[in-house]
A and B are shown apart, each in its own frame.
Chain A
Amino acid sequence: MSDPIAQLIFLIIKAILMPVLIVMIVAFVIFFERKFAGFFQGRVGPTYLGPWGSFQSFGDIFKLLSKEDLIPLKADKPVFRLAPYIIFIPAFLVMAVIPFGPVGGQPNLFGHRFDYVIANFDAGLVLFLALGAIAVYGVVLAGWSSNSKYSLLGGLRAGAQMISYELAMGFSVVGVMLMADSMNLVDVVNRQAGNFWHWFFIPQLVGGIIFFIGTLAELNRTPFDLAEAEQELVAGYLTEYSGMRWGIFMFAEYVNLLVISGIVSTLYFGGWRAPFTFLDFIPGPIWLFIKIAVMVFIYIWVRWTIFRYRYNQLMSTGWKVLLPLSIANLVVTAVVVTLVK
């Protein structure tokens, strides 16, 4: 079997296994979110289905699937149907560029080289930002097509929110790009080889924090869950969705949570690499999984702790604080990188 054919077979296996794996993990991420929310609030969270209630998500999925598919009479039906998938598909696609183990090098599986990444793509970072921007279309279109005023306001908020944080987020990522000298996430991880003080979160602390805040906005979680804003807009862009259509939105939100945790770990916390070189005997995917789990916990923690910003406050934070800071970070990084070279 020649190597290109083996690579193709590996690719197909990876492309099939990865979404399945994500779907399985997401079911438990939802369970963890609910369980942790319960602990934060002095409750117990779900308890009935499975051990400690850990199969709760499966019960929810069955319930959602069995519900009636309701579309408002005056909704823009094709767009209304399309909107969930505009969020759902990009969420999965980003996973393709995240390396979860060593890439390249010696043959390591049945005499062939197995790359621990689906797409060793040179513009991986740009792809991530682009797909993140596409997902916002899903929110805006969902709000627009529902023919409900609350949904409309939610969609408009999502649009305004996107332009406020996406710029700052993009500039903060450029810092990492300069340090790694590449937009390929595989190279970004390889540049962070070594003990944990080689990771980018130390030189890129400001950029990392800005990026983290941006991802909070991208994920539509407090303090930036304006598009949903239960207390203000009932459910924002989701108001008219019910049953499994609503379920797809929720599902996409958690897939995004996982994927963005993966991106943050990859960009700033060494990706699949161990914090100390003597721990390298533990495989890369396990390290990445641990890092993602910690990031997911942090996102859950933030969500259940912090207040929501007002619409205009989010805009002014994005434009007046985060954007100048991220540009300053970019300039400083560029100067330092040039001088070191």
Chain B
Amino acid sequence: MRDWLSNATEKIERLERQLNMRPTHEPESAHQPEPAHDGEVSAGEHSGEHGSKHAGPAGGEKSRPTMEQLKERKARSRQRVENAGEIMTLSMGPQHPSMHGVYRAELDLDGEVIVAARPEIGNLHRGVEKLAEQLTYHQVIPLTDRLDYLSGFAMNHGYCEAVEKLMGLEVPARGRYIRTLASEMCRVANHILWLGVHIMDLGTQTFFCICFRDREYVLDLFEMLTGARLTHSFARIGGVAKDLPDDFGRRCREVIDFLPKRVAEYERIIKNNRIYYKRAKGVGIFTSEDCFAWRVTGPTLRSAGVARDLRKDEPYAAYAEVDFDVAVEYNADVYDRFLIRMKEIRESCKIIRQCLDNMPDGPFVAKDAAHTLPLKRDVMRDSAAMIQDFEQVFRGPRVPKGEVYVATEAPKGEMGVYVRSDGGPRPQRVHFATPSFYHAQAVPPLIEGEMISDVVAIFASIDVVLGDTDR
């Protein structure tokens, strides 16, 4: 308990330090060869050796607005709120084409300008956290990929990391690599889908279909790897469910060779499109201060100039052993969130390639009779494995008493999992601090003062999935 608290305190202090020392506040001095934020993010980092990799790609050249400039831009839209006249209340959602599920917002409108917004969530509440208390630790896994159903494996992964930390279980190297690989595949699939939906909200339906087609390639890989396309339930406590199938490496390489080309094509279509630029540039500004205040993480935070990425800052799985850059942009608007995600797809492809290149041999799931399920093929042949299987399925794993909080970098932001054990086979309490929940509550400050057309663009840009919000 003490340990967890001190860790949390340390984390908060580090975040505050990042906030105060962000380079966007002061002009850069010419003497520093590297942008100031590269050093300071890893200051106070226990894993110091990764600090040097923090540079955003090709940093330094870009024009970086200061915090004052960003606030000034934001103030323009706040001005419209203050000048509001007669108010009309509009209920947007839950059955609205671009509320991405069943989000509902009550908007106070002055003409087309949003004066106030009151979000409502809970229309997709399924009681996952309460259900988890009735199930053994193994049985919770299929619930987790229904949280953010667009990146199912990343959810499995976060939960398993938390439970393994509680059990003190070491995942074998191959298991860690396969998890990293699958998580990054999730990120690619999620960002491609995000792009399609975001562009569709701006009025182009064709692009949605193009993005869906390209996402299919990743889903095909998932089908090959896990047997499922959407709800994978592929992670297991102590590793993953299956080894890489034959020929997976070749197929996967084909896809990750192909996707960066497609991303370049997306950028060619969208990045310099005048209408997109007009619709997205300077819209929905959410500065790093706002992000910290509302606990907004992931690409939205990184688009505000903070190189915060748990894969780098607190590496889990095999992220410490692969080389990648954290994408950072500085304008904190919808346009930069698009740029961030495109960069992240490229970086994810890089990570997937490294995982395939350096895939270690050995077991993919830990051999630990007290905590993990045995391999199915052993159960029928080996009596010890059969007993282990019986024990795990009917009783559940033996988990020491205690509680743990682990955060992982899901595609949409930081996904925290809190697990408390009373020593029994079932968790006493599981809590998922999913990114979409926090993002959904940050919608009012994001959209107030903007226009109805921007609401859909901004709402899409922070990437909210209602399954993830309501749990």
Residues of A within 8 A of B (CB): 37, 40-43, 149-150, 153, 222-223, 225-226, 229-234, 304-313
Contact = CB atoms under 8 A, between A and B. Distances in A.
Most B-side CB within 10 Å, residue of A223, A304, A310: A310
B202 A40 contact: no
A306 B275 contact: yes
Given A307-B199, A307-B276, A311-B112, A222 B204 contact: yes
Given A153-B112, A232-B98, A307 B204 contact: yes
B134 to A, nearest CB: 40
A240 B451 CA distance: 23
B209 A149 contact: no
A312 B97 CA distance: 22
Contact of A234 (B96, B112, B208): B96
Interface stretch (B223-231, B303-311, B453-461): B453-461
Interface string B82-114: 000000101000001110000000000000100
Interface in B261-284: 273, 275-276, 278-279
Interface range for B: 20 to 34
Interface string B194-214: 000001111111101110010
A37 to B, nearest CB: 8
B176 to A, nearest CB: 37
A309 B274 CA distance: 10
Contacts of A222: 203-204
11 contacts: A153-B90, A222-B204, A231-B97, A231-B202, A305-B206, A306-B204, A306-B275, A307-B276, A309-B278, A309-B279, A311-B451
Interface string B447-467: 000011111100000000000
B211 to A, nearest CB: 11
Contact of B275 (A149, A223, A311): A223
A72 to B, nearest CB: 16
A42 B275 contact: no
A256 to B, nearest CB: 20
Nearest to A235: B97
Contacts of B210: 41-42
Contacts of A42: 209-210, 213
Across chains A and B, which 3 residue pairs bring their CB atoms closest together, nearest first?
Answer: A308-B203, A41-B209, A307-B275
A37 B206 CA distance: 8
A313 B452 CA distance: 13
> Interface residues of B: mostly helix, strand, loop or mixed?
helix
Given A308-B279, A310-B453, 10 more contacts: A37-B205, A43-B209, A232-B456, A234-B97, A308-B204, A308-B275, A309-B275, A309-B279, A310-B279, A311-B453
Given A233-B452, A307-B279, A223 B206 contact: no
Contacts, number: 80
Given A231-B98, A310-B453, A311-B451, A41 B275 contact: no
Given A309-B275, A310-B453, A231 B206 contact: no
A40 B206 contact: yes
Contacts of A309: 275, 278-279
Given A231-B97, A232-B453, A223 B203 contact: yes
A231 B203 contact: yes
A310 B450 CA distance: 11
Nearest to B203: A308
A307 B273 contact: yes
A33 to B, nearest CB: 12
Contacts of B279: 307-310, 313
Given A229-B453, A231-B98, A231-B200, A310 B209 contact: no
Nearest to B107: A149
Contacts of B204: 222, 304-308
A304 B208 CA distance: 11
B374 to A, nearest CB: 45
A230 B202 CA distance: 10
Contacts of B209: 41-43
Most B-side CB within 10 Å, residue of A225, A229, A232, A308: A232
Contact of A41 (B96, B206, B276): B206
A307 B213 CA distance: 20
B451 A307 contact: no
A306 B201 CA distance: 12
Nearest to A305: B206
Contacts of B202: 231, 307-308
A40 B276 CA distance: 19
Interface string B354-377: 000000000000000000000000
Given A42-B209, A43-B209, A153-B112, A307 B203 contact: yes
Nearest to A152: B88
Nearest to B208: A41
Nearest to B111: A156
Most A-side CB within 10 Å, residue of B204, B208, B279, B454: B204
Contacts of A306: 203-204, 275
Contact of B453 (A41, A149, A305, A308): A308
B199 to A, nearest CB: 7
Contacts of B200: 231
B112 to A, nearest CB: 6
B97 A149 contact: no
A308 B88 CA distance: 24
A42 B200 CA distance: 16
Interface string B315-342: 0000000000000000000000000000
